[in-house]
Amino acid sequence: HVQLVESGGGSVQAGGSLRLSCAASGSAASSLYMAWFRQAPGNEREGVAYIAINGGTDYTHSVAGRFTISKDNAKNTLYLRMNSLKPEDTAMYYCAADPKWLGLDDIFEKHAYKYWGQGTQVTVS
């Protein structure tokens, strides 16, 4: 029932910034645990950033300090602000959501999330 629609991807030079958006429908973002994943060609899909219903966040080591995940519950939208982008950040970025708490060991496991967006491409050169 939940649909996630991503936008904001594009092509930038190394050191640049982008903000990705994920518009949720069918359920309030305030009732969802949400995350951003990414997948480069030939690579596994990996968790990037996570935000709990109470606003708590977590990041994978490779993006910590550069990326910021946030939600605007009034707009029912998830965001990922990406600063100081590197070529290794090039990937398809996906929004994911689940209505239940996943546990600390599962927040970056792709199989833990019930709902997924279509992906938006980020290319850093």
| CA dihedral over 118, 124, 78, 7, signed as positive or negative | negative
Question: What would the two tokens of residue 21 be?
Answer: 């958006």
pLDDT tens for the chain, residues 1 to 125: 899 999 999 999 999 999 999 999 998 888 999 999 999 999 999 999 999 998 999 999 999 999 999 999 999 999 999 999 999 999 999 999 999 887 888 999 999 999 999 999 999 99
Cα(93)–Cα(13) distance, rounded to whole angstroms?
17
The encoded tokens of residue 55 equal 């606003």
